[in-house]
Amino acid sequence: MTATRSLIAALAVLASSWAAQAAEVALAPFYQNAATLKAEGPLGTVLAREEVATAIPDAQAWRIVYVSSDVRGKPTLSSALVIAPKGAAPAGGRPILAWAHGTTGTAQSCGPSQVNDPAQDLNEYFLVGGTSWTDFGVPAATQFIAKGYVLVATDYQGLGAGGGAHQYTVAATQGRDVINAVRAAGSMGLSGGAKKAAVYGWSQGGGATIAAASLGDYTAQTGTAFDGVSFVGFVAMAPFDIAVAMPPGASGADGAQKAMATLVSQFGGNVFNFAHLAMNLWAMPQAFPELKLGDVFTDEGVKVLDEVFSKKCMHAGADTISFAYPGTFMSLMKTAPDNAEAWGKAMIEGSVEPKPPVAPVAIYFGDKDTTLPPIMGKLYQAQMCALGANVSRTQLPGEQNHFTTPPMAEQFYVPWIEDRFAGKPLENGCPAQ
């Protein structure tokens, strides 16, 4: 059996080298054209748009490409899906609601807006009734359109529009993509000039949501395509926050080594979670060029994982790793990383800023979530409540896992968001001291 596995792994590496000269991932014409655009203009500027058919009653939809920026201020491109009620906005305008999606992968072809018929309610790969190789759609979209909201769902930088390789789980970058998606939708005139907005997200998007919540200075910037956006609330389902879960001293050499070891321990137990961890590590140098893939991966790991993550989306990538390295996938990583201190500092810089959110935050989680440990949300709540924020945290009824969290949470977050747009009072969700 060991010899068979070794042969499979060797063939996988050989196939990888044969594929080295292959063309990059295939893209539809809209995204091919998007890759030629330059990230120029005010934040939120819409550089391209394309109408998209939708079966949501009384709705219209578009794919767009807009200007954003990453954690270090580099201008980037992001694509997004916009869904809005048909007709002119009513007096007083329409609220804007931004959706931040969960993990879909790192290749440029992994943006949810690229899927056939993307303008629909959330369609999950793992759940019965899922119709695609990935998660796509916008949760409760039909309900929210009926309530008169404008919806915008970013693909994030690097997925769809190009803008450099995707900075997977660099929440500080994805939070900026969410904010600029709201600016882009507003600049299209769909809100009728109204500037109230909210954000809801899951998994990777849960991290993006809480990251956006603490970017008050970024939100308040002027000279954008749609200045003056006022966020009224943030809903984070199964969010992650790497920095808050790191041990004390993680920005130092010894602490960083311990932090990296903790991450590997948490996410190295099975190939699915390993794929998430490896994608995160593969993506970090895209945001932080002082990091190198060879710091954390073996020579074989660098070669194989670069091939996989630059060309395949989440589930296909995990399947490839499982096929080529059954039971031996951890051999693609070094036993101890080089340059650990720089990695520790980068992980903190790319995470949620330790600043109070600009509006209330509601967290929803399942007690059986083994993909993203609920402790991250608990630690985030404690940190932000200590800073004077209003952060509630709700365990969903029943035995909910990572993938049942969005449908189960819908009954709670839909009225919560509606109340925030209506300006209704909200009790402080922080635990009593």
Please write the tens of the pLDDT for every residue from 44-66: 999 999 999 999 999 999 999 99
The verdict on residue 96 lying in a domain is: yes
Residue after which a domain boundary falls, among 348, 383, 402: 348
- Cα–Cα distance between 54 and 58 in angstroms, integer? 9
Per the rule left: phi > 0, alpha: psi between -120 and 50, beta: everything else, 278 is alpha
Specify whether 185 is located in the same domain as 324.
no
Tens digit of pLDDT for each residue in 227-266?
Answer: 999 999 999 999 999 999 887 777 777 778 877 887 777 7
H/E element, 67? strand 59-69
Tens digit of pLDDT for each residue in 295-347?
Answer: 999 999 999 999 999 999 999 999 999 999 999 999 999 988 899 999 999 99
- Residue 289, class by beta-carbon neighbours within 10 Å (0-12 exposed, 13-18 middle, 19+ buried)? exposed
What is the span of the domain harbouring residue 284?
248-348
Specify whether 78 is located in the same domain as 183.
yes
Instruction: Give the pLDDT mean for 189-216.
Output: 98
CB-CB contact of 411 with 364 (8 Å): no
- Dihedrals phi, psi of 260, to nearest 5 degrees: -65, -40
Specify whether 393 is located in the same domain as 322.
no
Kindly report whether the global pTM for this prediction surpasses the value 0.75. Answer: yes
The verdict on residue 309 lying in a domain is: yes
The verdict on residue 22 lying in a domain is: no
The verdict on residue 4 lying in a domain is: no
In sequence order, which residues have a C-beta less than 8 Å from that of residue 254 and are 6 or more positions away?
A: none
DSSP per position, 253-314: HHHHHHHHHHHHHHH-SSHHHHHHHHHHHHHHHHH-TT--GGGTB-HHHHHHHHHHHHH-BH
- Cα–Cα distance between 145 and 28 in angstroms, integer? 27
Tens digit of pLDDT for each residue in 133-151?
Answer: 999 999 999 999 999 999 9
Report H helices in 188-268: 204-213, 216-219, 242-245, 253-267
Residue after which a domain boundary falls, among 282, 317, 348: 348
Specify whether 407 is located in the same domain as 309.
no
pLDDT beyond 70 at 21: no
The two tokens of residue 282 are 């593969």
Q: What is the average pLDDT value for the chain, to the nearest integer?
A: 92
Rounded to the nearest 10 degrees, what angle do helices 2-18 and 299-311 cross at? 60
The verdict on residue 21 lying in a domain is: no
Specify whether 101 is located in the same domain as 158.
yes
Specify whether 185 is located in the same domain as 293.
no
| Beta strand extents in 118-207 (DSSP E only) | 150-154, 196-202
Specify whether 33 is located in the same domain as 171.
yes
Read off the amino acid at residue 152: V
Tens digit of pLDDT for each residue in 95-142?
Answer: 999 999 999 999 999 999 999 999 999 999 999 999 999 999 999 999
Specify whether 111 is located in the same domain as 144.
yes
At 257 the pLDDT is 81
User: Which CATH number covers residue 97?
Assistant: 3.40.50.1820
- Among 159-163, 209-213, 349-353, whose mean pLDDT is lowest? 159-163
| Count of domains observed in the chain | 2
The verdict on residue 16 lying in a domain is: no
Specify whether 344 is located in the same domain as 365.
no
Residue after which a domain boundary falls, among 348, 380, 403: 348
- Cα–Cα distance between 183 and 354 in angstroms, integer? 24
More confident position, 5 or 41: 41
At 97 the pLDDT is 98
Specify whether 286 is located in the same domain as 364.
no
- Dihedrals phi, psi of 206, to nearest 5 degrees: -65, -40
Query: How many C-beta atoms surround the C-beta of residue 431 within 10 A?
Result: 12
Specify whether 398 is located in the same domain as 414.
yes
The verdict on residue 11 lying in a domain is: no
- Cα–Cα distance between 85 and 99 in angstroms, integer? 16
Specify whether 139 is located in the same domain as 167.
yes
The verdict on residue 13 lying in a domain is: no
